[in-house]
Structure 1
C-alpha cells in the first residue's frame, strides 16, 4: 500500500532536508503517470493513489519494490547512477528533472561548495552590460537573486537600483509585488518558472540558509507560491518569449536567452530582444530613450545639489 505523507514545510534549521525533498519529488513524479500511459493494466477503476503504484514503477525500472520504496523514503545514499537513470526513464523525467533527482539522491557527491561564495559581478561584466544600450540584460544568481543589470533592464522591469539588496530577487518581486502581476501578461507562467528555478537550486544547495529562509518567507506570505512549490516542478532557465505590459510603452513581446557564465556556473546572463522592425522593437527604443533622459536628469540634479 502506498502512503502519501503530507508535504513537508520548509526547514526551520537553516537548510532544506534533501531526504524529504527526494521523497516528495519521486512521489510527485509518480503521481503524474497513469498505468495506461506506459502500457500497464490499470487493475480497475478504483485505485488508492493517483498515478502509478510503487510496485508498478519498480517493475518498469527493473528494481525491487523494497529497493524503490527505500529510495522514495529518502534513502538514496547508495543508489547507483544506472539505477537513477532507469528510474528517470520509467518516470519519463526531463533532463533537468533527472539532474535534480541525482542532486537529491546524492547530495554529498554533487554539492559544489560547503559555503556558497558571495555572488559578485566582475567589473568587466558590468561594463559589458552597460554597453548593451539597446538590449535589456541582467545577471541572476542563486535563489533568483539579481546580481547586476543594465539601465534598459531596470527601465523595463522596474527601478531595481532603488530596492534594498534583499529585495532584488525575482521570487520576491514576482510573488510579493502587485506590480509584477500587471507587468507580466502571463503572470502564472512566470511564477511557475521562478518556482521551478528555485526547486532546481534547492537540489544543488539544500544547505543554503538564505534559500531556506526565502522559501519559508514566500510559503507564509503567498498562497500561489505554496501551491506551485508543492508541485515539485523543476527546470533550468533557457530561452523563450515573454509578453509584458509596460506602464510607459504598452505591451511588448520579447524573446529571452540565457547564458551560463563559465567563471561561475551559479550565475547566468539573461538578455531580452524584440523582432527587428516590430512594434515591440520600437517600444524598446522609446524606453531606452526615456531611460537616457532620466539618467541625464538625475545627473543634472546631482550636479545642481553639489553647486
Structure 2
C-alpha cells in the first residue's frame, strides 16, 4: 500500500506567537505568558487567547496590541511582516496629505522613510518599529527596545547624544507625566522598577517640573550631525508617536 501523503497544515498566528515566545529567553528562563504580558503591556489572558487561536480575538485583532507583543518578542522585520500576514490585518488607504496609517506591516512603511530616521514609539518610549537609519544612528537601541533604558543602561548613548542630559531629562519628564495619568500601569511599573536602580535616573525623576514637548526641533548627535526632529501622533492608535528626523542642511 502507498502511504498517504501528509497534509501540509497552513501556519497560524497562534503557533507563530507561541514558538516566538518559547524561544525568547529572559535571564536564561523561557519567557512565560505572564512575563510577556508585563513586557508588552498586554494582559496575560489576551496573550493566552491569541496563542490558543480564540476565534473572537482573531477576528478583531488590535493592531497596537500586536505591535507591542512583537516588540517584546524582539521579532525581526521579516518576522513582523510574516506575523501581520498571519493576523490578516487589512489597511485603509491613506488620504490626501495626512500621515499614512500604520496598520499593516508598519515596518514596510517606516523603511520607506529612509534616509530619514524614523521609528514608531509608544507612550512609554518602547520602540515598536524603526528603519535602518534610525537603528544605525542610535546603536544599541534596537537591542534594548526602549529609549529610557537605552539612555540609562547603554553607555554608548552618552557618546551618541551630544546633549545627553537635556535629551534624557525630556524623556524622563514624559515618563513622569505618564505616571500621573496611569500610576498602576504594569508596563510603567516594570520600567520604573528597573530604572529605579539607576542613581542618575532617580535624580532626574525626582524633579517636579513637567516638560512633554521639545523646545527646539534640533537634536545633536556625535560626528557633528544636526537633526531636525518631529513627533507625529498616530492617526488612529492613541498613545503611538512617529519619530521622524532629517539631517539639517
Answer yes or no: same fold by TM over 0.5: yes
Matches within 5 A, 1:132-151: 132-151=113-132
* Residue number in structure 1 paired with 2:12: none
User: 5+ residue gaps in structure 2?
Assistant: 1-63, 68-101
**TM-score, normalisation: structure 2:** 0.56
User: 5+ residue gaps in structure 1?
Assistant: 1-116, 277-307
CA–CA separation in structure 2 for the residues paired with 1:156 and 1:232: 31
* Residue number in structure 2 paired with 1:198: 175
CA–CA separation in structure 2 for the residues paired with 1:187 and 1:272: 17
Distance 1:265 1:237, change over 3 A: farther
Q: Secondary structure at the match of 2:243?
A: strand
* Residue number in structure 2 paired with 1:176: 153
Matches within 5 A, 1:51-62: none
| Matched-pair contact (CA < 8 Å) for 1:119–1:141 | no
Q: Secondary structure at the match of 1:197?
A: helix
Deviation string, structure 1 residues 102-153 (Cα, Å, up to 9, x no partner): xxxxxxxxxxxxxxx6361633432221111210100110321111111111
* Residue number in structure 1 paired with 2:241: 268
CA–CA separation in structure 2 for the residues paired with 1:206 and 1:259: 25
Residue in structure 1 matching 2:212, options 222, 236, 244: 236
Residue in structure 2 matching 1:118, options 65, 69, 81: 65
* Residue number in structure 2 paired with 1:212: 189
Matches within 5 A, 1:72-83: none
CA–CA separation in structure 1 for the residues paired with 2:182 and 2:218: 28
| Matched-pair contact (CA < 8 Å) for 2:141–2:150 | no
| Matched-pair contact (CA < 8 Å) for 1:244–1:252 | yes
More helix by proportion, 1 or 2? Answer: 1
| Matched-pair contact (CA < 8 Å) for 1:199–1:233 | no
* Residue number in structure 1 paired with 2:83: none
CA–CA separation in structure 1 for the residues paired with 2:176 and 2:110: 28
